Amino acid sequence: MLRWEKIHIIKNVGSSWFSLGFNILVGIFLSPFILHRLGDAAYGIWVLIFSVTGYYGLFDLGIRSSVVRYVSRFTAINDRQSLSKLVNTSLFSYTVIGGVTMAFTLAGMSYVNSWFRIPPEFARTSQVLFLMVGTSVALGFPLGVYSGILEGLQRFYLLNLTNVGSTLLRAVFIVVALNYGYGLLMVAAITVILPLLVSILRAAIVVRILPLNFGWRYVDRASLREMAGYSGTTFLIMISFKLRFKTDELVIGTLLSSAAITYFSIADRLLDYASEVVSSLAQIFVPMSSQSDAVGDTARLQKIFIAGNRACAMIIFPIAAILVILGKSVIAVWVGEKYVPMSYPVMLVLLFPMTASLAQGASSRILFGMARHRTLSWIVFMEAIANLALSIILIRPLGIVGDALGTAIPLSCTALFFYPRHMCRLLGMRVSSFLLQTYLLPIFLCAPLVAVLVGLHYWFVPRRYFELALQLGAALAVYGLGVLWAFWTRRLWKVETVPPVPVESAAVLAFQGDVPRLD
């Protein structure tokens, strides 16, 4: 890997982790503050409405992913004309989608209280909250094009710096508002307005750094068809991910209560933090693999596959160990002891399959970058259907733990049986070689961390932030020394590539929907 490329990766990933760390730090202190000020019922409604409007993301139709893919591809081959057509066509498409989203919001706000078990005193509040969040999403569609462009240009540090500023302002404004006696709607207004302002700032940055032409003549049918061919498959994956991760709150709110959502969301939020740490790294592999695929560099794709997943594993393995050993203390210190008996089992049930999936975080991004994600779309769609069915079946006898099991079982199957075999077959590698090169080092480095955590936890159980930070600091210091050793000895970057083996015929690839392109 070239030195300038390593620097660029470090800058993007470093800024992503700084932004994410800042978000997590703010969330650790802000979430319990909001929860205790609003109460279980209001906080549950907050989570519920944002979960419902989160489905508006399906209106994206996969366009954003095609923006990232083709911006990186067109800049790699220096095709400015196609780039301008892509951006203008995306803006037009998103404007239409924003209008449709707004219409759905206006039509649906009257039915929120009949869809879910909303306490009578929150009936009007839930309707206004639904309108506010839906309007924000509608406006965010066309503005979000510019964030996709920055991703395609691999300018993640610009996205991250603006995100840090937005997070800081959001936290300050929410604390001030709640201290002055404002409630749920003011918190929501702050939460939805700031991202729109950040999106406008990102648009100004893109216009300044990238020479683009704007106008109706650049809204192109051929570009729309090209985007549709890519984004149609992405859209199926988006539906699947919504069913996989965003139906839990709806199932719980429909079959149990809005208060039960709070207990589930605490565990879910901890895992979201872990997922975001990995995703902030893995997102860089979409434009990287797209550029490598555009110039036909298979060896570099293999390096991205092995080194990328190795890096993801080195992040999620220690996090998983920490949550298993210190999870009860984390929940108790974070939001209170009363949430531990219900939230910790949910977290454990979801943690192991999510760890297996996140340890392969680069794999799906490479498929997106290569435009070879059709097989993935059908696999995750079947997983999502199984997820929803099992959650509904198991929630009655087992409560929120049953809902978590409905997510965990299909996710485990995808992570363990699909990703390794499919990716190795696609890139012409042996599964055994991939597993050894990718996961042996992260497991070896995690062993001392686990030993330190178990020893310290046996010595004393942390019950305050200081005690928790003391144990985490000691364990992470040991792990950090291991990572420095791996970096210094270059084991962190070492990858043995092999000449691609054409183990799949064109007929087999066609059957799977991943036909080799002729370009």
**Which pLDDT score is estimated for 69?**
75
Q: Taking the model in full, what pTM does it have?
A: 0.67
Q: Kindly compute the dihedral angle of the four CA atoms of residues 159, 160, 166, 170, in this order, to the nearest 10 degrees.
A: 140
Give the span between the Cα atoms of 191 and 203, in whole angstroms.
20
For residue 181 the two structure tokens come to 């006696």
Angstrom distances, CA of residue 245 to CA of 46, 89, 203, 405, 420: 17, 30, 30, 12, 22
349, 404 in Cβ contact below 8 A?
Answer: yes
Tell me which residues of the chain have a pLDDT lower than 70. Answer: 1-14, 16-17, 20, 36-43, 46, 50-62, 111-123, 226, 229-232, 238, 242, 244-246, 253, 257-259, 295, 492-493, 497-519
Asked whether 151 and 68 are in contact (CB, 8 A), the reply is: yes
Instruction: Report pLDDT for 502.
Output: 46
Residue 171 CA neighbour count, 13 Å, CB half: 17
Question: Distance between CA atoms of 13 and 153, rounded to whole angstroms?
Answer: 14
DSSP letters along 35-87, please? HHHH-HHHHHHHHHHHHHHHGGGGGGTTHHHHHHHHHHHHHHTT-HHHHHHHH
Digit-coded pLDDT (tens) for 465-505: 888 888 888 888 998 898 888 878 777 667 776 665 443 43
CA distances from 241 to 72, 271, 379, 385 (A): 24, 15, 11, 10
Q: What is the pLDDT of residue 327?
A: 85
The angle, 0 to 180 degrees and rounded to 10, between the axes of the packed helices 419-427 and 431-459 is 140
Calculate helix-pair angle for 258-282, 400-413, nearest 10 degrees. Answer: 30
pLDDT digits (tens, 9 = 90+) for 341-377: 888 888 899 899 999 999 998 888 888 777 777 788 8
* Other CB atoms within 10 Å distance of the CB of residue 412: 16
Domain boundaries, the chain: 1-228, 247-500
